Structure 1
Amino acid sequence: MIFLLSFSIPEGSIAAGPVTQKITKQFLTSGKVDLAREVVTLPLHRGRLNSGETVWFVLTDVSDYATSKKMGLTWAPSLAKAKDLTSTRVAEMDGSGNFTFKSGRVDFSPSQKLVAGEAPNFFPPKTARAGSVGDAHYSPLVRVTNDNDIVFNAPVIAFNVGPEKISFCNGNPDYAVVTDSVASICPDKETVDLKLRFGFANGKHLRYLSFDANSEESATLEASTFAPAESDILQSGATEVIYTIVNGKMGANDPNRQGLDSALKGEGPSLDVLAHFTEISAGYSPMWDVQLAEWTKEAISKGQRKRITDGDDLEAASGSGLLVSPAGGPVKTTGNLVNCPVVGFTNE
């Protein structure tokens, strides 16, 4: 769900009519979801590097089922396939649950900059500069060596700063010190409010989070951390497929609105489609392999372009030639990887 920009959602762009939003199925149960604010509140963890720097992070997913139940995290068994990757960081956890990481630094001082392309093709953007950048050793995935090599998804929220520098309990955080997805953060309460993202899976509305991407363009579009070191996860089998429409219908209030062109124009999120997600299963992973899909000129001229909310429908449209890869041929991987833990399904 790579390209879900952090724009506000225009009225009517998700659903028409006075529908009361509610979570119908929540997977990340450690979080408290507030759909009125479109945030989820998660526990804020404070750890450190071996070299002494403070690491502020959250935990969202874990490879071990028992640990997921104990901590309210999403069970992501596929993460176990990433435990020996170069990009998977090493850590130890003490009896109180405190993490000490061997490596992985993130610089939050850059200013995010996103400039859309020229109409009518707003994607790709002219400029995409991420607001935070991981070093050559940073990945959100962490293997805990003294706890059966369990793999956690532990994205960094802030780095090498004291609590007084990141205390924005009432919002308006300083994005020079925290990741751009933070809505508010309160170290004294050990909580952080993170902005929810919008997409679809199995024909249903999905809310999820976005933390990291292995390309700077993807990270900028997702308002997340550029983490090039995580690219090797794509070859591990520890991924799911996410489809992103490039040139869906435009118009903030069009019920079929979708895609990167629309998102970059400022009409709302791109509304990506997680391929085959219905429930947490042995194949689930928060690490998503991005596949771009473009409507053909013929499909557009014949009025066959519509909003797609199910992976099977997108694959059928690709199989019949209505949707193709921008690079040519059938829809396929772009080599872009995003870290997007699911939060839950909603009724709209």
Structure 2
Amino acid sequence: MTDAPQAGEEGQTAPTETSATSATSATSATAETSATSETPATSVTSATAESSESSATNETNETNETAETSPTSGPAEPSATSAPIGVTLEKGRQTITSAVRVDLTRDFATLPLYKGKAAGETVWYVITDVSDLTIAMELGVNHAPKLSKAGINCPACVQEVTTDDPILGRAPVEFQGGPDFSPARTLVPGPTNFPAASFTPGAIARAGYSSFVRIDSDPITGTPVVYNAPIIATGDGPFDVTTHTNTHDRALGMDTDAMTADLLFVRGFANGQSILYLSFDSSDAFTATVERSTFVPALTDLGFANGGGNPESARTSIFTFVNAQVGLEEAPPERGASQGPGRSQGLTHALSLDIVGRDAAVANADVLEALRTGADVSNIFDVFPTNERAEDRAEYSPAWDLHVGVYSDAAVEAGSNGLQTDANTVRSLADEGVVTSPGGLPLGSANVVINCPALAFLEEAPLGPREPALGG
């Protein structure tokens, strides 16, 4: 049992920094975000949160007992480096109901942790989404029906895992591949902040790895059942949750006794409301770096670009900006950044802040505080699991199709490049010519996929509806 974050093995060599070309920068973006809170809500005290966490963790232990005892490549060393407890989000606002708790002080969610193997190595994973509604309700994760399309024309986008139980996590699991967390994440802003001068993703997919996994197909319909099950740590511990040499760059705590993981979330927007979401992977190296996520290039071929609104696509639309206003919210509330004065978003905004290249860790309190108060890019989801219309809920997928917006010179000069919180509004601005893709092209997919599961809403539930403009 360790009481403090432990460093990883020495002698691991990070890849050479990648020079950020203008082409890559123009089509690369991020889903790190900050959110809004206008209606006051009662905060759970630390004592209450601790009691709640203990009860929920006991349930998690029972659920994951089988996974915890799966075979390993050697004797496992128990490790507990949980993040401190702060203000707790109300349980009823979570879409991933299996989350033990959501912390609004250091912006992390405590999720059930599962154990598996990949190429003979012990791996640790979480489950956030599944394409089957019954399984989603049973596991307390998001229902994402579009995930069933993830393997179409892209075999590498979904890895087939081996297990003796049709429900993922109930029996030992063998993955085809896992991620390499050993590279050192680097990000150096450019002369105008964005594009970056150089960057190196902090984690890279090994052969065969994807967070989207399949056990089998539905026995009645024959439709593949696909889970979102990102691997967030490798090895038998101790786990480095400071420089992340064997953990995901968003892992703030790992407890293999309680079988929980504390994962840094992102504050974003959907349908004009503030949301919280997790970020695990990107198909683009720059996006993975600024997202603090795993670079999974195979996801570039996930079907298909501009697939928002199309039930045959595994992707759903998400929006960010290159040249929105910059700056942190002037007086964020106790629950974190909202839509208050000074709140900004976008790539230039994120790269203008000095924490952008530093590790997210409990030990780096100023980094977590900056992210909590608006240092992220603040992307916009097109839909959310709480939407009122069934067709909008069915549109939800953690596989987001990134749209990178550029405000017109006139909009920037007029100061009309402020905070946006609704995808419908972004599409309307695009119809008016106020927002385009880089190079003046019509706003559309940058063909960058980011794996960002919905976690919760901060105050009011996003209800929709999705209103595509000019055919989507």
Q: Give the TM-score, by structure 1 length.
A: 0.88
Name structure 2 gaps, 5 residues minimum.
1-27, 44-88, 305-311, 331-340, 354-373, 388-392, 461-472
Write 1 or 2 for the structure with the bigger share of helix. Answer: 2
Q: CA deviation at 1:116?
A: 0.8
Q: CA deviation at 1:34?
A: 1.5
- Out of 92, 103, 109, the residue aligned to residue 182 of structure 2 is 109
For residues 331 and 63 of structure 1, do their structure 2 counterparts lie closer, same or farther at Cα, with a shift above 3 Å needed? same
Aligned to 2:350: 263
Q: How does 1:306-317 map to 2 (within 5 A)?
A: 306-317=418-429
- Out of 144, 150, 155, the residue aligned to residue 225 of structure 2 is 150
For residues 2 and 302 of structure 1, do their structure 2 counterparts lie closer, same or farther at Cα, with a shift above 3 Å needed? closer
Give the secondary structure class of the aligned counterpart of 1:327.
helix
In 2, the alpha carbon distance for the partners of 1:268 and 1:209 equals 16
Aligned to 2:407: 295
Report the AA paired with residue 438 of structure 2. Answer: P
- Out of 221, 225, 238, the residue aligned to residue 165 of structure 1 is 238
Higher mean C-alpha deviation, range 337-346 or range 265-274? 265-274
* Aligned residues of 1:276 and 1:312 also touching (Cα < 8 A): no
Q: CA deviation at 1:146?
A: 7.5
Give the secondary structure class of the aligned counterpart of 1:282.
helix
In 1, the alpha carbon distance for the partners of 2:414 and 2:176 equals 54
Q: Does 1:319 align with 2:431?
A: yes
Give the secondary structure class of the aligned counterpart of 1:255.
coil
Moved over 4 A (4+): 13-24
Report the AA paired with residue 91 of structure 1. Answer: V
* Aligned residues of 2:31 and 2:266 also touching (Cα < 8 A): yes
Report the AA paired with residue 200 of structure 2. Answer: R
Q: CA deviation at 1:98?
A: 2.3
Q: Does 1:69 align with 2:137?
A: yes
* Aligned residues of 2:108 and 2:265 also touching (Cα < 8 A): yes
- Out of 163, 182, 193, the residue aligned to residue 93 of structure 1 is 163
Q: Give the TM-score, by structure 2 length.
A: 0.66
In 2, the alpha carbon distance for the partners of 1:283 and 1:4 equals 18
Q: CA deviation at 1:36?
A: 2.3
* Aligned residues of 2:31 and 2:320 also touching (Cα < 8 A): no
Report the AA paired with residue 90 of structure 1. Answer: E
In 2, the alpha carbon distance for the partners of 1:193 and 1:2 equals 25
Aligned to 1:58: 126
CA RMSD of aligned residues (A): 2.4
Aligned to 1:229: 298
In 2, the alpha carbon distance for the partners of 1:39 and 1:220 equals 19
In 1, the alpha carbon distance for the partners of 2:319 and 2:377 equals 10
For residues 128 and 14 of structure 1, do their structure 2 counterparts lie closer, same or farther at Cα, with a shift above 3 Å needed? farther
Percent of aligned positions with the same letter in both sequences? Answer: 33
In 2, the alpha carbon distance for the partners of 1:146 and 1:77 equals 13
Aligned to 1:277: 384
Higher mean C-alpha deviation, range 179-188 or range 18-27? 18-27
In 1, the alpha carbon distance for the partners of 2:260 and 2:385 equals 29
- For residues 47-82 of structure 1, the C-alpha deviation after alignment (integer angstroms, 9 at most, x for no partner) is 113x43212111100011111111111111111112
Higher mean C-alpha deviation, range 310-319 or range 127-136? 127-136
* Aligned residues of 2:142 and 2:385 also touching (Cα < 8 A): no
* Aligned residues of 2:318 and 2:400 also touching (Cα < 8 A): yes
Q: How many residues align?
A: 334
Q: CA deviation at 1:279?
A: 2.4
Aligned to 1:241: 317
Q: CA deviation at 1:99?
A: 4.3
- Out of 122, 128, 131, the residue aligned to residue 199 of structure 2 is 128
